Structure 1
Amino acid sequence: MALPRIVVRGKKVILLSGYKDKGTGETRRGVVIDAKDKLLLAARRNPDAVAFGYVAGHWVASA
């Protein structure tokens, strides 16, 4: 699967890590995101970021 794009705080961002496929077998795939609350905090701290990665229990803005 390609890197998923999700909407966080009204902006599309790319997840580099910190997710798992739902594995539903549907045409449109979904993902399960690790620590969604921490992702929202990281997005609030880095409003210009377009990609995030989950490293050592923290979401980090990558681009």
Structure 2
Amino acid sequence: MLFKAAEPAERYRVLERFYRLSPELIGRFYAGNSTTFDRIRTLAGKPPVPIGRAVAALTGRPK
């Protein structure tokens, strides 16, 4: 989503939102051990990019 949905000048918002999550969740993400709840939590809430672009990035469809 970082590169497909966010404009280059707005990518920092995706990272800011991710790094506000719990350190434990981030650790599991980097270790490749994300739980189902972690995945839901990562994608839950208001996206830091426009919804249409976020959906297109997740589904692999063009913008």
Give the shorter-chain TM-score range: under 0.3
The answer to which structure has the higher helix fraction is 2
TM-score scaled by structure 1? Answer: 0.27
Q: Which has the larger radius of gyration?
A: 2
Task: Name which structure has the greater RCO, CA cutoff 8 Å, separation 6+.
Answer: 2
The answer to which structure has the higher strand fraction is 1
